[in-house]
């Protein structure tokens, strides 16, 4: 009996050791290149279900919604994630939680390094401070993706807000003829606003046999207000998926801020993404920026 108990204890001990070694091995399953990603980004993360998830929480923000305190796990924990593609390369996706003043500097930093930005929108109403959520995408080697995304991540929490200049009290009225010439399309005057609308008839979109044209919302537009010296521009760009990154780069290169990237329709073919933007400065400069974005549209159909 004593010998039987001894044998049972040995088996139990061996089983526990095996179990512990299995747990230890599971904890060490993270690929070495993913371990290097965490070191490179100087962030914490975990590896589960074949995915490395890097945590980018906004613990620096004291968030409230309608005055109700909402801690970071409530919906303010940003992240990027990597997983292996069939060819051994990596696919990266992520969702960054950004203050309004952080959006465009980080957008530019990511675009400059080859990271795509695929959506920009809010998740909440009445949040204080007001935050936006930026979705990112990249493909390549894990180490390269880490290097590409790092400059953008390093800006989170470190962008100084720019003071808005007061609107000028006088100046030259908008030269709408000059703006139309720069853009290459005529616009319409509505009170103090001059608006240029350009349809995407090149897409030939239909729904249930009905033609979806500019009047149905399939258009790109720019609205100008102010003076020739100090104007504001706002607008919307209707883009195919492969046009998103070129348009973003064109707008940012010309100093225009991107404020939203999202769908307006579901079930549309081809898929069309809409981008809303804003800018302020000399009217001609704003028109040049809009024209640069407009020139990125329809290139496939022009070849």
245-297 pLDDT tens trace: 999 999 999 999 999 999 999 988 999 999 999 999 999 999 999 999 999 99
CA nearest neighbour of 264 among 207, 194, 190: 207
- Rounded to an integer, the average pLDDT of 179-188 is 98
pLDDT of residue 100: 97
Is 10's pLDDT higher than 50? no
Burial environment of residue 287 by CB neighbours within 10 A (0 to 12, 13 to 18, 19 or more): buried
Distance between CA atoms of 170 and 227, rounded to whole angstroms?
8
**Which position has the token pair 């319409």?**
188
Looking at the whole model, is its pTM more than 0.85?
Answer: yes
CA nearest neighbour of 36 among 25, 49, 27, 45: 45
Is 2's pLDDT higher than 90? no
């Amino acid at each position: 009996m004593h010998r039987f108990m001894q044998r049972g204890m040995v088996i139990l001990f061996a089983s526990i050791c095996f179990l512990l070694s299995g747990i230890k091995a599971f904890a060490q399953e993270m690929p070495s290149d993913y371990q290097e990603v965490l070191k490179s980004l100087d962030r914490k993360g975990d590896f589960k279900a074949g995915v490395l998830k890097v945590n980018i929480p906004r613990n620096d923000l004291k968030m409230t919604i309608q005055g109700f305190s909402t801690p970071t796990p409530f919906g303010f924990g940003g992240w990027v994630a990597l997983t292996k593609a069939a060819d051994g390369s990596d696919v990266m996706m992520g969702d960054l939680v950004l203050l309004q003043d952080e959006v465009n500097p980080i957008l530019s930093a990511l675009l400059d390094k080859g990271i795509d930005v695929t959506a920009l929108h809010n998740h909440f109403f009445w949040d204080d401070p007001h935050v936006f959520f930026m979705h990112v995408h990249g493909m390549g080697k894990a180490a390269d993706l880490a290097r590409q995304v790092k400059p953008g991540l390093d800006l989170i929490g470190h962008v100084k807000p720019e003071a808005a200049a007061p609107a000028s009290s006088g100046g030259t009225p908008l030269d709408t003829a000059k703006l139309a010439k720069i853009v290459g399309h005529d616009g319409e005057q509505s009170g103090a606003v001059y608006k240029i609308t350009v349809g995407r008839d090149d897409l030939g979109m239909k729904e249930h046999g009905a033609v979806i044209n500019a009047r149905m919302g399939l258009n790109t537009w720019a609205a100008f207000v102010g003076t020739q010296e100090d104007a504001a521009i706002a607008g919307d760009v209707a883009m195919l998926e492969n046009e998103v990154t070129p348009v973003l780069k064109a707008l940012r290169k010309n100093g225009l801020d991107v404020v939203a990237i999202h769908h307006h329709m579901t079930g549309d073919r081809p898929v069309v993404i809409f981008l809303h933007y804003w800018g302020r400065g000399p009217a001609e400069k704003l028109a040049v920026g809009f024209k640069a974005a407009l020139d990125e549209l329809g290139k496939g159909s022009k070849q």
